[in-house]
Every structure is written in C-alpha cells, then in structure tokens.
Amino acid sequence: MQKEQDTFTVTYPKMEAIMTQEANATTNQLQSWWEGVVFNGKEFFQLRENGELVLKATTTLPERIITTLTPENAEATAKALIEKFSEVEAKVKELRAEWDASEEKLKLMGKLARTREYLLHSHALGDFNSLMVSLDDFETVVNKLVEENHAAKLALVQQAEAIVQNDQWKETTQALRDLADQWKHIGFVDKQRNDELWNRLEAARNTFFERKRQHQEGQEKEMLQNLDLKMELVEKAENNAASEEWKETTELFKQLMEQWKSIGRTLPEKNEELWNRFIAAKNAFYDRKKLHFESIQQEQEANYSIKLALIDKAEGMKESTDWTGTSQAYADLMEEWKNTGRVPAEKADELWNRLNAAKEHFFQAKRHHFEAFRVSLEDNLAQKMALLKRAESLKNSTHWRESTEELNELMTEWKKIGPVPREHSDRIWEEFIAARTYFFNRKDADRERRKSQAEKQLVSRTQQTKNFLVKLEEELEEELGKLEDFKDGLNNITTGPKEEELRQHLQKLIAQGEHKVKHKQEKIDEVKTQLNELETKAAHNAPKDDHHAKEEQKNNDEETA
C-alpha cells in the first residue's frame, strides 16, 4: 500500500509585499500571491477569480470548495489550512497503525468508512489524493475478506445440506451444532447474502431435526430425549464454569441442578459420565467464586493506590497547553481509571471528585482556546457529520451486536469531539440521536418478536400435551369399564359343560385388562410430569420489565447532549 506523505516544507509569499505592488484588482493580487504558495498536493487545488479555493475532482475525490479567500485573510487562512492537513494525515496514520496491528481487519470497517467520510468533508490544504489511495487499498482488503467469509459460510451450508438425510442421529446432531458454532465465528457478510445462506442452513437443520423427531417416536424416544437434555445441561454448565458473573451464574447453576433432577432416566452408560462432568463444572465455578471474594478486599486497596497515582498525574498536567497530546493523555488515563476497578466505597467519591476537577480544569481551558479558531470548528463539524452518516447507515442493520458496539463507539467518539458552529449543533445532534433511537427501537422490537414466537410455541406444545392427557384419561376410563364387565361375567357364570372353558377365557381377559390399565396409568403419570415441566417453563419465561435499561440509555444520551 502507498505510504502517507512525508513531512514537507510549506512556503508562501508575504501578502503585505504583494499588496504593495501596483495592481488594478483584488483578483490579480490573490492570483499573484497563490502562484507563490508552495505545499505538497497544490496541483489538486485551484483558486478561482471570485476567491473560492477549490479542491479539484479526481478519480477518488469529488470537487468541493475549501474556503473563500480575500487579500486580508488569505495568508492566515492558508497557513491554518495547511497546518490542519497534518491533523488530517494523522487520522489516516492512526487508521494505518490500527490496521497493521489488528488481526481482524473487518472490525475496522466502521472506522475506515468514517475516515473516508472525514476526508470528503475536511477543510485543509494538502495531498488528499494519496490519502484516498491508501483508503482504497484498505477497502480492497476488506472486500476480499468479506468474500472469504461468504465462501466459508457457503461451505458450512453445503456440509449441512449433505448430512440432513444421515441416520446417525447423535453424530449428525453434534455436527449440525458444530456447524452453527462455526457460523458464529465467521466474520461479516453483507445482509442479503448472509440471510440467504442462513435460511438454507436453518432449512437443513429443520429437515434433519424433524426426521430425528419422527425416528424417536419409538420405545427409546424418552431416554434419547433425556440424554440430549442432559447433554445440553452439561454443555451449559461447562460453558459457564469460567464465568465471572458471580450472582447470575450462581443462580444459573441452581436452575441447572433443578432441571437435572426433573429430567427422567437416560442411557445408563452415559448418565454417570454426564453427571461427573456436570459436578466438575459446578465445583470449578464455586471454587473460583470463593477465591474471588477472598481477594476483593486486597484488590480494592491496591486499586486505591493506583488511582491516587493517576490523580497525581491528572493534576500535574491540568495546566498543559498541548491540547491534542494532553487530551489523549486524559483519555488514556480515564481508560486506565475505568480498567483499574473499584476502590473502598468510602474513598470513591473523594478520588473521583479530585480526578474530575483536574480533568475539567484542563478541558475548560481547551474549550476557551479553540472557540477562537473557525477552522477547528469546521473540522469538528466534518468529524461529526462523518459519525452522523455512519450512524444513519447503521440504523437499518440487523447485525445487532456489532452495530450496537459501533453505535456506542460513535457516541464515545462524539463525546470526544469538540464544539461545532452553533447553526449546525442542534440539527446534527438530533439527527444523530434519531438514528441511534431508530436502531435501538428496531432492536427491541426484534427481541420482543423472537420472544413472542418462543412463547407461542410453548403455549402450543402445552395445549397438545393437555389434549393428549385428556385422550389417555378417556382411554383409561374405557379400559376400566371393560374390566368391570369381565369381572361381572366371571362372577355370574352359568353352570354347564363349557363352564370351565368360559371361566379361563374371562380370567385371561381380566389379566390383559389389568395390564392395560396399569400401562395407561403409568403413561398418564408420565404425561402429567411433562405438562408440569412445560407449565413451569412458561412461568419462568414470564415477561420482564426492561424499563430501567431503556431509561438508563435515555439518560446517557441526555447527559451527552
């Protein structure tokens, strides 16, 4: 890829000297002055007769007006815009550094798009064309990676479609689960093609599991189903053995143990193995939990010492006038502060107030300084317009997790950017928040839709079980009636030559009837147990109020505004 432009020397004539020449028009003064200005990339700019300084169109850049010059402001404005280009270059260098350091290039798609948008609106003088060529090289790599991801997902779909008719139920079930897990670890693919492949994968999975369900309707159905259920419990336990969500995971293990107790018998040779795995995962979590809480007090005291050192550093640089470097230093310091962890509660407010006072002192001085620079205000506007455009491009996304992370990154970056011209401030903020709100409302609606669908399926299954129970009870009543008739016939046999033959026949019928009644009663008990499990599950899935989470998100946005 093309390297960024090396440091270069800018020269331009003194405007006072040019204005002393005898000229008949302002246009001649500006043109004469412009011919003497030297900087890298000047060939891409044009000074029009009306004083408009224009970046000319190229294969990578559209034409746009950078500023309007007059004899009075030309030299100062040009100097500011040429110096501003070093900040523009820094954006691309920062992206290149992250690009070279990152092993997952697709995670930089959003930043790449924002940087390109920034270059398309940035007000500066320099070699924009070479910067855009670098971004084009990055996008070529990104597009190649997307195609590789598409090929990988297509291969998974073809594997799934090739095994749906397999009768090796256990192996194929695991294979399909493995394919689904592999799918999750494959990176970004554009929505249309991703949805097409996912629908094919789901269709293959549904075909196989429908065949498996029909196969299991024999005598071994219950044991195999119980085996699958216990395997799922073991997998959940093992997946959460390393969790550090202590409260939530403790409750989860309690629920898993209750579910294990409620599941019926399964294949003997597998039950002990699964139980040992389940208990090992459970014990591993609780051992880690014990060690964690024993170390919390010691850890908080260590965090207190670290944060005192951070406060000393913050107070030591609050008078700095290195605005860019010190702003980054404060950002790094705040990141380190957040990553350090909690301190004893009685000392937390004191530490935070000292840190915040030092930080606010510096940033207040920085705001006062930059309010005097129109070029900086325009640059801030360009950065926020890039964030806004990216937010609007994400608001219709269905990649919920990735888009949520990026929108939060956009909000974090928005907070770091300084003020913009007042006539644009409210409008771009409202549009930015509207894009975020639209996305999160869609995300909430999608979650509610999937939740509603699951609840409907549970209701349907519960009703089917109830109907089956009614049918079994009616069949039991019918068998009891027949048994009573046989017993009455046995007690009222008429004496005759076939008396003994009739007696034996009725005794045989009675024995068969009693066996049927016992079998029906056992089946009824089994179905009642299943119905109870379904109703318990329905109670656990009752809707929960997420009002608090929504209010918290709203308050965060209002605080930023």
Confirm if 476 and 520 have CB atoms less than 8 A apart.
yes
Do the beta carbons of residue 315 and residue 271 sit within 8 Å? no
- CA 31 to chain CA centroid, Å, is 54
- Tell me: pLDDT of 283 over 80: yes
Q: Residues 265, 221: contact at Cβ < 8 Å? A: no
Which is more confidently placed, 547 or 306? 306
The DSSP annotation for 492-561 comes to: TPPPSTTHHHHHHHHHHHHHHHHHHHHHHHHHHHHHHHHHHHHHHHHHHT-----HHHHHHHHHHHHHH-
Lowest model confidence (mean pLDDT) among 9-18, 35-44, 69-78, 384-393:
9-18
pLDDT level of residue 170 (50, 70, 90 thresholds) = confident
Judge whether 326 and 283 are in contact, CB under 8 Å.
Answer: no
Q: Residues 503-553: pLDDT tens digits?
A: 888 888 889 888 888 898 898 999 989 889 888 887 776 655 455 455 556
Query: How far, in Å, CA of 36 to CA of 252, rounded?
Result: 74
- Rounded distance between C-alpha atoms, residue 281 and residue 283, angstroms: 6
Amino acid 435: pLDDT: 94
Q: Find, among 364, 352, 353, 354, the residue nearest to 327 by Cα.
A: 364
Q: Which two tokens stand for residue 77?
A: 């404005």
* Bridging pattern class, strands 52-55 and 45-47: antiparallel
Q: Flag whether pLDDT at 400 surpasses 90.
A: yes
Q: What is the C-alpha separation between 105 and 141, in angstroms, rounded?
A: 8
The encoded tokens of residue 355 equal 């840190």
Please tell me the predicted confidence (pLDDT) of residue 542. Answer: 61
Cα(187)–Cα(106) distance, rounded to whole angstroms?
7
End-to-end CA distance of the chain: 40
| pLDDT at 200 > cutoff 80 | yes
Average pLDDT, the chain: 84
- Bigger pLDDT: 363 vs 543: 363
Do 534 and 462 contact (CB within 8 A), yes or no?
Answer: yes
DSSP string, 74-93: HHHHHHHHHHHHHHHHHHHH
The burial class, CB within 10 Å (0-12 / 13-18 / 19+), for 203 is middle
CA of 116: how far to CAs of 132, 188, 249, 377, 518, in Å? 7, 20, 43, 19, 76
Which residue bears the tokens 């119980």?
226
Q: Residue 1: which pLDDT band, with cuts at 50, 70 and 90?
A: very low
- pLDDT, tens digit, 9 for 90 and up, residues 91-138: 889 888 888 888 777 777 788 888 888 888 888 999 888 888 888 887
Tokens of 192: 């249309």
Label residue 6 by pLDDT band (50, 70, 90).
very low
Q: Are 393 and 349 contacting, i.e. CB atoms less than 8 angstroms apart?
A: no
Helix (H, G, I), strand (E, B) or coil at 102: coil
pLDDT at residue 476 tops 70: yes
Q: How many CB atoms lie within 10 A of CB 85?
A: 23
Q: How far apart are CA 272 and CA 149, in angstroms?
A: 41
Report long-range pairs for 464-467 (Cβ below 8 Å, ≥24 apart). Answer: 465/527, 465/530, 465/531, 465/534, 466/531
- For residue 301, pLDDT over 90 is answered with no
Would you place residue 443 in the very low, low, confident or very high pLDDT band (cuts 50, 70, 90)?
Answer: very high
Mean pLDDT of 465-494: 86
CA 456 to chain centre: 27
From CA 279, how far away is CA 253, in angstroms rounded?
A: 10
The yes-or-no verdict on residue 446 having pLDDT over 60 is yes
Rounded CA-CA distance 35/151 in Å is: 54
**60/429: higher pLDDT:** 429
Mean pLDDT of 165-169: 86
What is the crossing angle of helices 74-101 and 109-121, to 10°?
170
Task: Tally Cβ neighbours within 10 Å of residue 403.
Answer: 21
- Identify the weakest region by mean pLDDT among 422-436, 443-457, 527-541: 527-541
Compute φ and ψ for 542, nearest 5 degrees.
-60, 145
Contacts of 341 (CB under 8 A, 6+ apart): 299, 300, 303
Measured in whole angstroms, the distance separating CA 526 from the mean position of its chain's CA atoms is 42
pLDDT for 55: 92
Model pLDDT for residues 221-237, shown as the tens digit of each residue: 777 788 888 888 889 89
Q: What pLDDT is attached to residue 370?
A: 72
3-state SS, 361-385, equals HHHHHHHHHHCCCHHHHHHHHHHHH
pLDDT confidence of 413, banded at 50, 70, 90? very high
Structure tokens at 294: 């024993």
Residue 12: pLDDT over 60? no
Q: What is the pLDDT of residue 557?
A: 62
Average pLDDT over residues 354-379: 85
Strand spans (E) along 20-90: 45-47, 52-55, 64-68
